Chain A
């Protein structure tokens, strides 16, 4: 079993979504031997589901728009624990990255003057919050993620990038110098296990929304890369910060873009009241996502929810008219008819706040280099990189603004690709791993393959998702979270002892699902412990028992250390290079 092939690359990118393929594009052009390892054909990655757009100050809707305003909005949206050096880089480099996408062929919608169409999204302002609502989200109708992902794949084909499609990465390989030298992976199609050796390994595996029972995320969003890093002993940052999107379709979980509210839609309760006027008098339905989601939950808890059980909210769009809906929001009309049995041209869509995005992840710098913590200091991990939702660079802090995730993917995918190219061409890189190192990384897979009794993947997954949904949802409380933590302890035993009944090698999806469940568990555990420790309410992390933001004690990142299963603090960066930092202030909309 352990005589496996070694396949050698310069750089290895785990994950074929937006960030991975933006990085691989940069590397494919450089001539380095690179491969993208993706458990699905790349255009099946979850970036494809992004709808409303990519937020960036390209000054199309407003010729006076300024990336500094975008930066201000992002810092405020993050509730002041986003790193300001990274946010500055995101917002100032953004236009370059977006124009490149257009040059690659991305079919953006257009204004009459031929420039890229931009729509308003939540949390956007002009003139540092003083100039009213901005329209800063560049869109390809409401299929921006699809257009972006396909464009990136197409350009990877153009540049001749290598893909190991339907290969599944199991664990990182680490040598005695604590360098990452690649991954253990297997071909889903035929079961072949290999050590994929690389000078640079990039985790671009996206989020893990499937830790919750109700999520907008694809079934494949199981946090594989982050979990691999955790198992290798590397930390995760800000794991308590999970975004609940205000508008997931009730019952189905499918996303309904914030662009609906950007185009003029609004939320109503059972009395037909536009309740966001009470919670965010200035910007109403376009407040930050955390604010809108909490307001919706409060409406439901106070008995003003819609439907037979008063358990959801209505998103009203019919007043926009068929023309606007068909041209600007065609995908939403389609999803709504299919999953809510409602035609938004005539009726409101039933929606509920639904788990959407992981703000936390493997901590990195703006070049995508992952780091660990030793004696409360940052130390780069040789050979390991992370980008996109899997990473925490951190531009989203405690709450991500709509449209900033696609920008994050391309800006940092690009930066990471460029950095690796420079590093490897100047002779950087890592040494090799021994047979023992490789065997250590094969353990988990071998144990699963040899299992002849144990727990059922589907049952345990349901238990895990219910636990996270019940105890670590939109509102959190210490005593309940304690119960959740106890339940997770029981679950750990089960997750470590799954029974794989089907041992065959040909396209064995149950093997994949078992490993994915283990990955989900590792991410869930980091989430639960971090959430329990942060004794304040900030951004997406709302505690009943600590309802206020506490800058004195918690204006910081949390760092979860998987070895000790404990949480420490890390300072937030307040040192942008081109302008003065934005100091924390009360966050109102």
Chain B
């Protein structure tokens, strides 16, 4: 009998009613076919309207439903329950390290402000041609593995350095985008971008823990991008010293 039931332990918190958050148990019949964690939440919400979580595309491209699933951050809509059930149990919590608004909904203000801080837009003040700016396929390939980020925050909220310094450490998600613009052959503000990242916190709080790589639902590698930024910063510093000497 136990084998046919599924126990979901869900983080609940409604600021209007609860002094503290708590874990609530829901026991349901195990779905006949493998479904996604988001489908599971939708089933629960049909029974209990008061459960809150974000969701939109339900196919892993909009980044709304990042959450902590049995201890690991991921997107609910592309995580099959078969991959995460442990002893017929699933534990769902909000992304760690950000203030909780309600249930699985976190306040992402700090995350977005780090993104805005790196100036996530192409900067090229030269007069644009009538057609597109040309870019070789090789130069375009450099953006692969970077531009695909969906801003779900799974990486940054799994990063201990971001937990400690969410206001000063840019975090893996925004640093991935910082690198996306640093390597775009069309962007002309490389120097300014590097200077804005050269303080002890923005990039250098990354200690290569690699949680970001482990959890990214799109298979991206922020750690590698951060490593590349560090090399660029290092080279830049040397170049400045050399040119000062000259």
Give the B-binding residues of A (Cβ under 8 A).
40-41, 43-46, 48-49, 58, 95, 98-99, 102-105, 107-116, 140, 143, 146-147, 150, 154-155, 157-158, 189, 218-220, 252, 254, 331, 334-335, 338-339, 457-458, 500-502, 504-510
Contacts and interface: CB of A to CB of B under 8 A. Distances in A.
B233 interface: no
Interface of B: 14-17, 45-46, 49-50, 52-64, 78, 101-103, 105, 108, 112, 116, 119-122, 124, 128, 130-137, 140, 143, 147-148, 150-151, 181, 184, 186-187
A445 B83 CA distance: 41
B121 A158 contact: yes
Given A41-B151, A219-B58, A510-B45, 11 more contacts: A46-B57, A107-B147, A109-B140, A110-B137, A112-B136, A114-B136, A115-B132, A116-B132, A157-B116, A500-B49, A504-B17
Contacts of B124: 103
Smallest CB-CB A-B distances: 9 pairs:
A105-B122, A114-B134, A510-B49, A102-B132, A154-B121, A507-B102, A44-B62, A158-B121, A502-B50
Nearest to B104: A507
Nearest to A102: B132
26 contacts: A41-B64, A44-B56, A48-B57, A48-B61, A49-B61, A49-B62, A102-B132, A104-B121, A108-B140, A110-B136, A110-B137, A112-B136, A114-B137, A116-B132, A140-B147, A146-B61, A157-B116, A157-B120, A219-B55, A254-B59, A335-B60, A457-B49, A504-B14, A505-B16, A506-B16, A506-B52
Nearest to A252: B59
Contacts of B143: 107
A173 to B, nearest CB: 27
Given A46-B57, A110-B135, A509 B147 contact: no
Contacts of A500: 49
A509 B130 CA distance: 46
Contacts of A43: 62-63, 150-151
B53 A509 contact: yes
B16 A335 contact: no
Given A115-B134, A116-B132, A105 B62 contact: no
Contacts of B137: 109-112, 114
Main secondary structure of the interface of B (DSSP, over half): loop
B54 A458 contact: no
Contacts of A95: 131
A146 B150 contact: yes
Nearest to A105: B122
Given A99-B131, A219-B55, A506 B101 contact: yes
B147 A150 contact: yes
Contacts of B116: 157
Contact of B186 (A105, A112, A219): A105
A44 B58 contact: no
Contacts of B14: 504, 506
A49 B77 CA distance: 14
A218 B56 contact: yes
A43 B63 CA distance: 8
B56 A146 contact: no
Contacts of A458: 45-46
Contact of B105 (A99, A112, A507): A507
Contacts of A102: 132-133
A118 to B, nearest CB: 12
B236 to A, nearest CB: 22
Nearest to B50: A502
B44 to A, nearest CB: 11
Nearest to A154: B121
A218 B46 contact: no
Nearest to B137: A110
A218 B105 CA distance: 19
Given A154-B121, A506-B14, A507-B102, A143 B57 contact: no
Contacts of B135: 110, 114
A105 B101 contact: no
Given A44-B64, A501-B49, A509-B53, A157 B132 contact: no
Contacts of A509: 45, 52-53
Contacts of A154: 120-122
Nearest to B78: A338
Nearest to A155: B121
Contacts of A457: 49
